[in-house]
Structure 1
């Protein structure tokens, strides 16, 4: 399948009854099942994944829905931030909304359902240049929209870098 490295799946991760919520500064809060996301306009794109640990997985084929498509249904504030939360206890990463819109909630990699070891059932995959590996949030469960930039809850960088041996 893929040459992404695997790490231990945290005990807090359970894919039973998984849902993705869009909450916060939106007109219409939303909740999606995997099936509902699959009914959206799925896209496929190829991208390398480079980790701060020094390894690179080249030419990964990701398939999922653009975050912007999901946000359009929730009608968020015009300018703001999205805090993307994971099932991984406290793991979250913030993005400006204009940047987050282009990211993908991926359900597949290399033609197969995204395994839990790689963040399945859904993983946020930023698509812009200059992205950092910890921004690819595994086991994504919530996108919380706010007008103010999140600070104390944005833990992705600290947690990811602390896990490097």
Structure 2
């Protein structure tokens, strides 16, 4: 299939129970199921995936829904500028400026197949900009919290991700 390295799946990750919730400084909190996402137009992003652990998976093809499309349904307030993306495991999260998050995709497939849970399925955030870091590609995305103020380092799992890397 691909060269993307799988990592252990936390016990709290149950793909059968998956939904995506968008809340925070929005006019409407919304919840999406996989069936809901199937009704949206999707896009493909093909690229290499370089990990801070010094390996590269070449030529991956991610297929999913543009995050900006999903955010439109929640109607973020005019003052909203940030989004915190949380994983199903309850520990892992990453903060993004809202414009950058909107340009990402919520990947549901990898290389033409449903995204396996060991690679972050059923849904994984895939930032598309050139300045992305591998730890920003959130596996098992279950919630996006929108806010007007930046999230703090305590709200994001950057250090958790980097602490798991053996250099």
- Report the TM-score range of the alignment, normalised by the length of the smaller protein: over 0.9
SS at match of 2:100: helix
Alignment coverage as a number of residue pairs: 164
DSSP-derived class of the 1:150 partner: coil
* Cα distance, 1:17 vs structure 2: 2.0
Could you tell me how far 1:111 is from its partner in structure 2? 0.1
What does 1:50-61 correspond to in 2, within 5 Å?
A: 50-61=50-61
Secondary structure of residue in 1 paired with 2:155: coil
TM superposition score normalised by structure 2: 0.95
Task: Indicate the residue corresponding to 1:94 in structure 2.
Answer: 95
CA distance in 1, matches of 2:42, 2:36: 11
Post-superposition Cα deviations, 1:10-32, rounded to whole Å, max 9, x if no partner, equal: 11111122100000011111100
- What are the ranges of 5 or more consecutive residues in structure 1 without an aligned counterpart? none
Instruction: Give the structure 2 partner of residue 103 of structure 1.
Output: 104
SS in 1 for 2:76: coil
- TM-score, with length taken from structure 1: 0.96
**Runs (5+) with no aligned partner, structure 2:** none
Deviation at 1:88, TM superposition (A): 2.1
Q: Distance in 2 between matches of 1:87 and 1:27?
A: 24
